[in-house]
Each structure stands twice: as C-alpha cells, then as structure tokens.
C-alpha cells in the first residue's frame, strides 16, 4: 500500500514535466509563438536590408552621406533592431562604414577596389556557373532559359530597367543552381558593390545590348548543362565588365 501511494504523485510530477502529450520538450526547442516571432524578426531584417541596400546602390544615399539607425527606422517605419542588423550586414559587404560613437558613413566608390572585387567575382562565378550546369533542377533550367529570352529582348530594345531586374534575378538563380551555400554567401558579399558601380557609370560607359547578350549566353549555357561552355560564357562576361570598369576612370 505504501508503494502504491507514492507512485501516483511521481507519475503526476512526470506528466507535469512532459506535458499532456506525454513527450518531453527538447531542451532549447522553440515553441510555436517563439518561432513566429523569430521569423517575423528575420523578415523585417531582410526587408530593412533590401530597402537600405537599394537606396545605396541607386545612389539615393550617396557616397560620404552620414546616416543613422534612427533616421532609417523613421524613414522606412521599421524598428531599430532590424535596421541595426541590416546595417551590420551592409557593413560586412563594404557598402557602409560604422564608426563607433561617430556615425555611419556610406562608403566611397573606389574603381581600384572594384577591380579587386572583380578578381574574386570571376573565380566564384566561374565555379557557380560550372556547378550550376551540373546541379540545376529542371525547373531552374527552365527559369534560366526564360531569363535568357528576357535578356535578348532587353538587348534589342536597350531596356535598362528590364536588364537590371533580370540581372538581379539571374544572379540569385545562378547561386541557387550551384547548391553551394559557401560560394553563394561569398558572392553575395560582392554583389552590392558591383551593382552600385554599374549603376553609377552604365549610362555613360556601358554597352548595354552587348552586356545583356553576354548574360543571355551564360544563362543558356548553365541551363543546357554544359560545364565548360558555362565557364567560358562567365569569363566573357567578366572580361566585358572588367573592360567597362577600366574604361570609366584612369587606373
């Protein structure tokens, strides 16, 4: 009888720890409400990043401009924590410089540094092009062919807005096709710097129809699964971008 009386409270205590389902929650596991809050925070951070990055890349926020968390938070109606996290990412990408107790500066555009960026971009994009040609899914290959057709149209019409939108879409898809997060993360660090430099100079120095055709060739080569053709197309595109960069200034 004594054993029977003590066993019931023990079972009750056990149920209290494990919950009504009888399963003990994993230590450190996020509950549904916590997961929802985390996803919302991540979404706001990504939203803040895209908004601020676009302002910098399109030169609405110019090199040398001083910005602040408070200013950006008020302008975009996003909390300061997501804005702060977005700024930290932009600092890692070299688009801003955070000066402790002084402020946040939009980074200057340096053509010599841009040439160094292109050295790294060439190697990473060649890798992504080769591996993408091997690993892309059927759906991704179809998307690449759509982008190539869009680039052909942009080339014929000299449509700079269509080109820039397709360029961003192509870069994201190329990173996805390779299924290599390490290479993709490395390239993401360089994309903003390259896009900003292009935006500053393309009206004066770029041959947009040629650049669009080179993008179309690369997209088709990846879609067709030809590793070496994809690598060659990548090199031709980066050769053009390097010549464009050198042509903007005396280096």
Q: Residue 96: its pLDDT value, please?
A: 95
Nearest Cα to Cα of residue 62 among 108, 110, 112, 117: 108
Give 50-78 pLDDT, tens digit per residue.
Answer: 899 989 988 999 999 999 999 999 999 99
- Fold category of 111-248 in CATH: 1.20.120
Nearest Cα to Cα of residue 106 among 64, 53, 73: 64
Three-class secondary structure assignment of 57-88: HCCCCCCCCEECHHHHHHHHCCCHHHHHHHHH
3-state secondary structure of 49: helix
38 pLDDT higher than 50: no
3-state secondary structure of 110: coil
What pLDDT band is residue 20 in, cutting at 50, 70 and 90? very low
Q: What is the largest CA-CA distance in the chain?
A: 96
Name the average pLDDT for the chain: 85
3-state secondary structure of 104: strand
- Tell which CATH classification among 1.10.10.10, 1.10.645.10, 2.60.40.420, 1.20.1050.10 matches the domain 41-108: 1.10.10.10
Distance, in Å, from the CA atom of 188 to the CA atom of 112, rounded to the nearest integer, reads 20
Q: Which residues of the chain are in CATH 1.10.10.10 domains?
A: 41-108
Q: Residue 152: its pLDDT value, please?
A: 96
Q: How many residues belong to the chain? A: 251
Distance, in Å, from the CA atom of 220 to the CA atom of 212, rounded to the nearest integer, reads 12
String of DSSP letters for 136-193: --HHHHHHHHHHHHHHHHHHHHT-HHHHHHHHHHHHHHHHHHHT-HHHHHHHHHHHHH
Q: Name the more confident of 204 and 222.
A: 222
- Strand 96-99 relative to strand 103-106: parallel, antiparallel, unpaired? antiparallel
Q: Name the more confident of 32 and 228.
A: 228
Q: Which residues of the chain are in CATH 1.20.120.530 domains?
A: 111-248
3-state secondary structure of 98: strand
Q: How far is CA 176 from the centre of its chain?
A: 11
How many C-beta neighbours within 10 Å does residue 52 have?
A: 24
Beta bridge partners of 20: none
Give 157-191 pLDDT, tens digit per residue.
Answer: 988 888 888 998 999 999 999 999 999 999 988 98
Is the pTM higher than 0.85? The answer reads no
């Amino acid at each position: 009888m004594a054993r029977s009386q003590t066993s019931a409270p023990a079972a009750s205590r056990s149920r209290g720890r494990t919950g009504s389902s009888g399963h003990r929650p994993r230590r450190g596991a996020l509950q549904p409400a916590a997961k929802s809050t985390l996803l919302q925070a991540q979404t706001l951070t990504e939203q803040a990043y895209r908004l601020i990055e676009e302002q910098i890349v399109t030169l609405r926020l110019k090199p040398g401009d001083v910005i602040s968390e408070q200013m950006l938070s008020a302008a975009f109606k996003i909390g300061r924590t997501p804005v702060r996290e977005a700024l930290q990412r932009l600092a890692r990408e070299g688009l801003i410089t955070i000066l402790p107790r002084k402020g946040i500066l939009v980074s200057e555009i340096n053509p010599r540094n841009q040439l160094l960026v292109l050295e790294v971009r060439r190697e990473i994009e060649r890798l992504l092009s080769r591996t993408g040609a091997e690993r892309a899914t059927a759906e991704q290959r179809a998307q690449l062919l759509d982008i190539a057709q869009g680039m052909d149209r942009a080339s014929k019409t000299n449509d700079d807005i269509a080109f820039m939108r397709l360029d961003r879409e192509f870069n994201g898809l190329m990173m996805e096709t390779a299924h290599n997060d390490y290479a993709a993360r490395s390239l993401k660090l360089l994309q903003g710097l390259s896009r900003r430099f292009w935006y500053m100079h393309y009206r004066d120095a770029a041959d947009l129809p040629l650049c669009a055709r080179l993008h179309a060739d690369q997209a088709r080569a990846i879609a067709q699964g030809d590793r070496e053709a994809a690598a060659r197309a990548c090199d031709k595109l980066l050769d053009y971008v390097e010549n464009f960069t050198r042509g903007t200034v005396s280096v």
